[in-house]
A and B are shown apart, each in its own frame.
Chain A
Amino acid sequence: MIDALNISKRYGKTLANDNISLTAAAGEMTVLLGPNGAGKSTLIKSVCGLLRFEGGVTIGGFDNHTVDAKRLLGYVPEFPALYPMLTVFEHLEFIAKAYRLSEWRADAEGLLRQFELWDKADKLGKELSKGMQQKVSVCCALLPRPKAVIMDEPLVGLDPHGIRELKAAMRDLKSGGRALLVSTHMIESVEGDWDTTYILNGGKVAAVCRREGLPPGKTLEDIYFSITEGDSTGGGNSTDKADSTGEGGEGV
Chain B
Amino acid sequence: MTALFYIVRKSVKNSLKELLRKPGKLALYLLALAVIAGVIVMSFFPSLRASASAPLFWFTGILFLYIVLFVVLAVVKGMSGGDAIFEMSDVNLLFVSPVDPRRILVYGVARMAKSAFFAGFFILFQANSLANFGIRYGGVLLTLAGFVLSVVVLLILSLLIYSATNGRPGRKRLVKLLAALPFLPLAVFAAASYLQTRDVLAAAEAAIQSPFLTFIPVAGWTAAGVSAFLSGATGAGLLYFGANLLLGIGLIVYLLFSNPDYYEDVLVATETAYEKKRALSEGNLSAATAPASGRRVRVKGTGIPFYGAAALFGKHARENFRENRFGFLTLPSALIAAGAILLTLFVRELWLAMQILMWMQIFLIGTGRGLKETYSHYIYMIPETSFRKILWSNMEIVARTLLESALIFGISGALLKSDAVYILVCAAAYTLFSLLLLGVNYVFMRFTGADISAGLLLFIYCIAVLLVMAPGVVLAVVIGSAVGGDIGFLTGLLVLCGWELAAGLVCFALSGGVLHHCDMPVFRTNK
Interface residues of chain A, those whose CB is within 8 Å of chain B, are 11, 45, 48-52, 65, 67-68, 70-71, 73, 75, 77-87, 89-90, 93-95, 97-100, 122, 124-126
Contact = CB atoms under 8 A, between A and B. Distances in A.
Nearest to B520: A50
B257 interface: no
Given A84-B286, A94-B315, A126-B287, A48 B308 contact: no
Given A50-B519, A126-B290, A98 B380 contact: no
B431 interface: no
Contact of B302 (A49, A73, A90, A100): A90
B290 A84 contact: yes
A111 to B, nearest CB: 17
A94 B303 CA distance: 8
B380 A49 contact: yes
Interface string B256-298: 0000000000000000000000000011101100100000010
B304 A94 contact: yes
A46 to B, nearest CB: 9
A97 B377 contact: no
A81 B377 contact: yes
Contact of B319 (A11, A49, A85): A85
Contacts of A67: 383-385
Nearest to B309: A98
Interface in B468-495: none
Given A48-B380, A85-B318, A85-B319, A97 B306 contact: yes
Nearest to B392: A98
B467 interface: no
B381 A73 contact: yes
A99 B379 CA distance: 11
Contacts of A48: 377, 380-381
B319 A86 contact: yes
Given A86-B318, A126-B290, A65 B516 contact: yes
A50 B377 contact: yes
Contacts of B520: 45, 50-51
Contact of B383 (A45, A51, A70, A77): A70
Contacts of B283: 77, 79, 81
B373 to A, nearest CB: 10
A48 B75 CA distance: 45
B114 interface: no
Contacts of B385: 67
Contacts of A11: 451
Given A52-B518, A93-B304, A85 B323 contact: yes
14 contacts: A51-B519, A52-B517, A52-B518, A68-B383, A79-B282, A81-B284, A90-B304, A94-B304, A95-B378, A97-B306, A98-B311, A98-B378, A100-B307, A124-B297
B297 A75 contact: no
A225 B40 CA distance: 61
Contacts of A80: 284
B519 A83 contact: no
B61 interface: no
Among B303, B319, B383, the most chain A Cβ lie within 10 Å of the Cβ of: B383
A77 B282 CA distance: 10
B299 interface: yes
A68 B384 CA distance: 9
B237 interface: no
Contacts of A97: 304-308, 311, 314
A90 B380 contact: no
A81 B311 contact: no
B182 interface: no
B445 to A, nearest CB: 11
B322 interface: yes
Given A93-B304, A124-B299, A52 B323 contact: no
B319 A83 contact: yes
Among A52, A70, A71, the most chain B Cβ lie within 10 Å of the Cβ of: A52
Contacts of B517: 52
Contacts of A84: 286-287, 290
Among B287, B305, B381, the most chain A Cβ lie within 10 Å of the Cβ of: B381
Contact of B290 (A68, A77, A78, A85): A85
Nearest to A93: B304
A243 B133 CA distance: 78
Given A87-B299, A94-B315, 4 more contacts: A50-B377, A81-B376, A122-B299, A125-B287
Contact of B315 (A50, A86, A124): A86
Given A85-B322, A87-B302, A126-B287, A98 B384 contact: yes
Interface in B366-383: 376-378, 380-383
B312 interface: yes
Among B312, B314, B378, B449, the most chain A Cβ lie within 10 Å of the Cβ of: B378
